[in-house]
């Protein structure tokens, strides 16, 4: 009998504990739209509450990640390299790290955010989080992929899902450019430091989608082998 709960997860599939980790990561990312909305209305108590929740979720994701690193079997009886799983684990964990960075930047300094840039910022956030959630849908298919040996119609289905994720990420690049144009169009309404910080926050929001895409592309490599 397997005593360790993490090892119990491995008994079914090496992807089962990875899915557990990603669910926590996605919970973290899905807090970001609400975080920005309370920021817009200057709800400091609400902002702090969501920031705290994001930090707690990121800590939980780190806990699961570290436990998985310690307990990944040295050999897995299937065509999956342990190093590939560790790389995927690190990439999907980066999504939670980025969400935490966004939350931290919104509370460490008073930032101006004119209404003129808020709509384009929310479009960027929602599209980036959509990319993260699409990654979650892809990961949930991996138990079935394992059962089919990464072959057949199921693998084709997942490859199409990864293609769709790539399209979403490409669209977030466009949304990021639109936000940046709006920011510069209204830069006279900001102090220079705020402009720099909003550029940084915009890049971080885009990174949510970037890490989702990178993780999805690593899944593609697993299927191709």
Predicted confidence band at 32 (pLDDT cuts at 50, 70, 90)? very high
pLDDT value of position 12: 56
For the record, the structure tokens of 198 come out as 């909003």
> Rounded distance, CA 45 to CA 154, Å?
46
> Rounded distance, CA 142 to CA 13, Å?
9
pLDDT value of position 142: 86
Predicted confidence band at 144 (pLDDT cuts at 50, 70, 90)? confident
> Rounded distance, CA 209 to CA 136, Å?
12
Residue 207's closest CA among 100, 95, 119, 123? 95
The number of helices, as runs of H, and strands, as runs of E, in the chain is 9, 0
3-state secondary structure of 30: coil
Angle at 222 between CA 143 and CA 206, to 5 degrees: 95
Structure pTM?
0.90
Residue 89's closest CA among 162, 142, 18? 18
> Rounded distance, CA 92 to CA 139, Å?
11
| Average pLDDT value for the chain | 89
Q: Which of 109 and 31 is assigned the larger pLDDT?
A: 31
pLDDT value of position 179: 97
For the record, the structure tokens of 75 come out as 């050999």
Predicted confidence band at 73 (pLDDT cuts at 50, 70, 90)? low
pLDDT value of position 79: 55
At 55-68, the pLDDT tens digits run 999 999 999 999 98
pLDDT value of position 74: 61
Place of tokens 């190093």: 83
Q: What is the mean pLDDT of residues 81-85?
A: 82
């Amino acid at each position: 009998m397997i005593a360790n709960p993490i090892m119990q997860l491995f008994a079914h599939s090496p992807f089962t504990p990875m899915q557990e980790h990603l669910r926590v990561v996605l919970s973290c990312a899905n807090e970001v739209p609400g975080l920005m909305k309370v920021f817009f209305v200057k709800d400091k108590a609400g902002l702090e509450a969501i920031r705290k929740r994001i930090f707690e979720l990121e800590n939980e994701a780190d806990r699961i990640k570290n436990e998985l690193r310690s307990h990944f079997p040295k050999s897995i009886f299937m065509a999956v390299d342990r190093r590939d799983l560790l790389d995927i684990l690190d990439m999907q964990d980066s999504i939670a790290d980025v969400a935490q960075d966004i939350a931290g930047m919104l509370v460490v300094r008073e930032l101006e955010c004119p209404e003129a840039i808020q709509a384009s910022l929310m479009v960027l956030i929602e599209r980036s989080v959509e990319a993260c959630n699409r990654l979650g849908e892809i990961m949930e298919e991996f138990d079935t992929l394992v059962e089919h040996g990464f072959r057949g119609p199921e693998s084709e289905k997942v490859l199409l899902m990864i293609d769709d994720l790539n399209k979403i990420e490409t669209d977030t690049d466009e949304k990021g450019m639109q936000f940046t144009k709006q920011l510069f169009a209204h830069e006279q309404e900001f102090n220079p430091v705020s402009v720099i910080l909003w550029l940084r926050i915009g890049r971080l929001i885009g990174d949510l989608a970037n890490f989702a895409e990178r993780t999805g592309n690593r899944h593609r490599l697993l299927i191709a082998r």
